[in-house]
């Protein structure tokens, strides 16, 4: 499965309040930018990940987020939203803003 127009609309519905949201399809997934800065991605199965490192990575992990792929050590990593946020647009927006603030 690859990213659809419906997925892109979902991304805009969730994150447009944060700023100028743009996207780029890559390897079946979607890179998500706010004001030109990549802060999230959507994989080909529709899972949303936020870019995180340091204290924000610790926070999202403690809240139940799971890291994408292998542990990358000091490098920037992507994390799923905590399960409690997945179906709450307000929570998704809050976590998205946290991701941007941490960059």
Pair 29, 47: CB distance under 8 Å: no
Average pLDDT over the chain, rounded to an integer:
89
Q: Does domain 5-102 have CATH number 3.90.1150?
A: yes
Distance CA 46, CA 88 (A): 16
State pLDDT tens for residues 54-98.
899 999 999 999 888 766 555 568 999 988 887 788 999 999 999
pLDDT at residue 46 in the model: 86
Q: Please state the domain extents for the chain.
A: 5-102
pLDDT at 38 over 60: yes
**Cβ partners under 8 Å of residue 21, min gap 6:** 11, 12, 15, 32, 33, 34
pTM (2 d.p.): 0.87
Joined together, the tokens standing for residue 29 give 């997934």
pLDDT at 31 over 70: yes
């Amino acid at each position: 499965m690859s990213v659809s127009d419906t997925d892109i609309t979902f991304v805009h519905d969730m994150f447009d309040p944060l700023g100028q949201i743009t996207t780029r399809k890559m390897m079946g997934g979607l890179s998500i930018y706010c004001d030109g800065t990549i802060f999230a991605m959507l994989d080909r199965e529709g899972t949303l990940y936020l870019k995180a490192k340091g204290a924000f990575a610790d926070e999202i992990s403690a809240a139940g987020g799971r890291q994408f792929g292998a542990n990358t050590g000091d490098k920037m990593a992507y994390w799923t939203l905590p399960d409690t946020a997945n179906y709450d647009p307000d929570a998704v927006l809050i976590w998205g803003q946290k991701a941007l603030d941490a960059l």
